């Protein structure tokens, strides 16, 4: 999840794509927001969050309340195609319940369809226990590797995307559709481009009232060009220091579209609340950090941490202990104030 990008230049408007004026109007209504990538602390991955047998609305409600308590008003939430394939109506009903819970505390939701990160094999049912100290030891790619035969698997994935978007395409509780997380990650660079192209096509056919995007995250021109050209709003990931962040934003600004940072904050990589969040606020770039509550994903440990390593100090991601205490009162105050810099 490292972030570099070649310069992005304006491109011709595609059929169904928002104009720059429409995107700017959306941004003027939304304004600057803070938020987080959200999954309950009791879920190790997307399947454990969304399947009926491990659906945990009590934890979701409690932890969304903690997010709202420090001023967050948007969450980014990963889905999984396997849950839809097994239980389409159930998934849609749980999504509706989630949207109701989030909106009840003043939070909009950004849903993510596909993801190239971490483990390529998994299944429904009981999920593996976390490997001690290992960052995202149970997180799953979507689709799983066995469902990445293209174009053979396109039909089932198209049905999933279109059913979900059709259900919620005019729902004001949905902030944005993030079509594909970090396409090309995890040795998937060659494999993923056809699906990335297709998911933009499928989304455009639904014509949602919310913007669509796929976040720029690494320095691969073929991907970056496609993502920037197709997106209504430019989303991106960044996990380095402030000067590096400014450089990346300078590369993205020429596209002329609003910017939303959908992943950031990694303390030991110098992506810090005290330095970055005031700058995001000043620039009007909505900032959605990775992690909320220390839990089964174990993202308080950095990428690459060996199994059984001691407690992370400082934490890599995450903002709350499982009992609701903030990890850092200084950080929480920066979130609450929106622009304060305590560094």
Q: Are 169 and 206 in contact (CB under 8 A)?
A: yes
271 pLDDT band, cuts 50/70/90, is very high
In sequence order, the 6+-apart residues with CB closer than 8 A to the CB of 313 are: none
Helix-helix angle 189-206:154-168, to 10 degrees: 40
Between 56-70, 133-147, 174-188, 262-276, the lowest mean confidence (pLDDT) is in: 174-188
Rounded-to-integer distance, Cα 34 and Cα 234, Å: 16
User: Looking at the predicted structure, is the pLDDT value of residue 306 above 50?
Assistant: yes
Rounded-to-integer distance, Cα 121 and Cα 126, Å: 14
Q: Are 186 and 241 in contact (CB under 8 A)?
A: no
Residue 8 has a pLDDT of 78
**What's the mean pLDDT in 42-58?**
98
Going by C-alpha positions, the residue among 307, 322, 317, 311 that lies closest to residue 132 is 307
Query: Three-state SS for 73?
Result: coil
Query: Three-state SS for 104?
Result: helix
**309 DSSP 8-state letter:** P
Rounded-to-integer distance, Cα 156 and Cα 146, Å: 13
Q: Name the region of 270 (left: φ>0; alpha: ψ -120 to 50; beta: rest).
A: left
User: Looking at the predicted structure, is the pLDDT value of residue 10 above 80?
Assistant: no
4 pLDDT band, cuts 50/70/90, is very low
Rounded-to-integer distance, Cα 152 and Cα 314, Å: 45
Query: Three-state SS for 298?
Result: coil
Q: Rounded mean pLDDT of the chain?
A: 94
**What's the mean pLDDT in 308-330?**
97
User: Looking at the predicted structure, is the pLDDT value of residue 319 above 80?
Assistant: yes
5 pLDDT band, cuts 50/70/90, is very low
6 pLDDT band, cuts 50/70/90, is low
Summarised one tens digit per residue, pLDDT across range 211-260 is 999 999 988 888 999 999 999 999 999 999 999 999 999 999 999 999 99
Summarised one tens digit per residue, pLDDT across range 158-169 is 999 999 999 999
User: Looking at the predicted structure, is the pLDDT value of residue 188 above 90?
Assistant: no
What stretches of the chain adopt beta strand conformation (E)? 34-37, 74-78, 108-115, 174-181, 212-213, 234-237, 259-263, 286-290
Rounded-to-integer distance, Cα 119 and Cα 140, Å: 5
- DSSP codes of every residue in 45-74: SHHHHHSGGG--HHHHHHHHHHHHHTT--E
End-to-end CA distance of the chain: 25
338 pLDDT band, cuts 50/70/90, is confident
**What's the mean pLDDT in 194-216?**
97
Residue 291 has a pLDDT of 96
- Which percentage of the chain shows pLDDT scores above 70? 96
Q: Are 300 and 317 in contact (CB under 8 A)?
A: yes
Q: Are 343 and 267 in contact (CB under 8 A)?
A: no
- Which percentage of the chain shows pLDDT scores above 90? 91
Please report where in the chains the tokens 């998911």 appear, as a residue: 199
User: Looking at the predicted structure, is the pLDDT value of residue 22 above 60?
Assistant: yes
Q: Are 27 and 176 in contact (CB under 8 A)?
A: no
Residue 341 has a pLDDT of 38
**What's the mean pLDDT in 144-153?**
94
Going by C-alpha positions, the residue among 51, 68, 146 that lies closest to residue 107 is 68
The phi and psi torsions of 177 (rounded to 5 degrees) equal -105, 115
Residue 191 has a pLDDT of 83
Q: Where are the domains of the chain?
A: 20-337
Q: Is CATH 3.20.20.80 correct for 20-337? A: yes
């Amino acid at each position: 999840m490292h972030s570099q990008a070649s310069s992005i230049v304006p491109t011709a408007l595609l059929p169904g794509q928002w104009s720059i004026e429409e995107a700017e109007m959306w941004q003027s209504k939304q304004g600057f927001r803070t938020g987080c990538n959200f999954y309950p602390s009791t879920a190790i991955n997307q399947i454990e969050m969304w399947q009926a047998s491990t659906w945990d609305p009590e934890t979701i409600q409690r932890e969304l309340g903690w997010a709202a308590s420090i001023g967050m008003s948007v969450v980014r939430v990963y889905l999984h195609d396997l849950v839809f394939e097994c239980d389409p109506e159930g998934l849609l009903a749980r999504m509706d319940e989630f949207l109701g819970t989030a909106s009840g505390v003043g939070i909009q939701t950004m849903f993510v369809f596909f993801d190239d990160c971490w483990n390529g094999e998994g299944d429904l049912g009981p999920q593996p226990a976390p490997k001690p100290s290992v960052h995202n030891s149970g997180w799953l790619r979507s689709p799983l590797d066995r469902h990445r035969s293209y174009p053979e698997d396109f039909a089932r994935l198209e049905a999933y995307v279109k059913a979900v978007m059709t259900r919620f395409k005019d729902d004001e509780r949905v902030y944005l559709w993030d079509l594909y997380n970090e396409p090309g990650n995890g040795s998937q660079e060659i494999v993923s481009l056809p699906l990335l192209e297709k998911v933009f096509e499928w989304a455009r056919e639904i014509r949602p009232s919310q913007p669509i995007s796929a976040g720029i995250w690494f320095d691969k021109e073929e991907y970056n060009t496609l993502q920037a050209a197709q997106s209504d709003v430019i989303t991106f990931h960044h996990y380095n220091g402030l000067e590096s962040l400014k450089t990346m934003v300078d590369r993205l600004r020429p596209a002329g579209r609003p910017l939303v940072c959908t992943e950031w904050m990694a303390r030991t990589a110098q992506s810090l609340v005290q330095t970055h969040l005031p700058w995001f606020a000043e620039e009007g770039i909505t900032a959605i950090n990775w992690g909320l509550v220390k839990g089964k994903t174990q993202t308080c440990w950095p990428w690459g941490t060996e199994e059984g390593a001691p407690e992370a100090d400082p934490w890599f991601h995450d903002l709350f202990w499982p009992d609701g205490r903030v990890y850092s009162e200084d950080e929480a105050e920066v979130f609450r104030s929106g622009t304060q810099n305590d560094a």
